Amino acid sequence: MWEQHLAGREIGLVIGRGEFDAALPSLLMLHGAGGRGEVFQPQLSGLAGDMNLAALDLPGHGATPGPGCDTIEGYVDWLESFLAAGPVRPVLLGHSMGGAVAMGLALKRPELIRGLILVGTGARLKVMPAILEGILKDFEGTVKMIVPFAYGPEADPQMIAQGIEKMSDNEPEVLLGDFTACNGFDVMDDVGAIRQPTLVLVGAEDKMSPLKYSEHLAGAIPGAELKVIPGAGHMVYLEDHKAANAAIADFMSGR
């Protein structure tokens, strides 16, 4: 059934193992800045059998043609078109920028989704000027600055090296657009209007979207649940995928 959403368009959609089962809840995952759907492999494999799983490549990322967007609203409009084209009404899991996109859609078209899992994100996502200035001036050096900052102190160095390699695959203009979109995002005055069931998931050592961001979301969104994973940083769903998957599975079991 995920394929019905493609509507003949060229869109990167990584689908979890097994046939779609309409009796199971569905989870659609949205990557962060400079990411792609395949980054959710620990979830696509680790949660298989309990739900219908898929992860999108946003425009300009992975297998989805560009251009990318430089506003969250641009990505929200694209996601709205994707979901409206097919029958699946999923829970949206959004990491960082993907969480901003998920919140934007929840506010604009709440009937298209059944819930939210907001991972390492916030109602406002200000970006360090050094990142915005550095991407076009020194792309390689700036990527090497961004990625290690996104991981907690216990992260495997090989995981960080792989993260640098994957982010470096982006076109500089796409990565700059992503961080520009994050920098312009602000739903501090609106997030309390979200009514979907919501899980807020964060690594205790997240430096890019600190714990206070998630605490604000959990306090502002009615009925939201906050899950903090010790030792993990911004890439919590990779750094401690077992703990992240357990929290996701518990939330999805009620959907």
pLDDT in tens, 77-136: 999 999 999 999 999 999 999 999 999 999 999 999 999 999 999 999 999 999 999 998
CATH number, domain containing residue 232? 3.40.50.1820
pLDDT in tens, 170-180: 999 999 999 99
How many structural domains is the chain composed of?
1
pLDDT in tens, 42-56: 999 999 988 999 999
Predicted model pTM: 0.97
Contacts of 105 (CB under 8 A, 6+ apart): 76, 79, 80, 83, 92, 112, 113
Location of structure tokens 């992975």: 62
Q: Which structural domain, as residue segments, surrounds residue 43?
A: 2-252
Mean pLDDT in residue range 205-218? 97
Q: Do strands 52-56 and 13-15 pair parallel, antiparallel, or not at all (unpaired)?
A: antiparallel
Q: Which residues of 124-137 are buried (b: 16+ CB within 10 A; e: fewer)?
A: bbebeeebeebbee
- Tell me whether residue 1 is exposed, middle or buried, using C-beta atoms within 10 angstroms of its C-beta: 0 to 12, 13 to 18, 19 or more: middle
Maximum distance among all Cα pairs of the chain, rounded to whole angstroms: 50
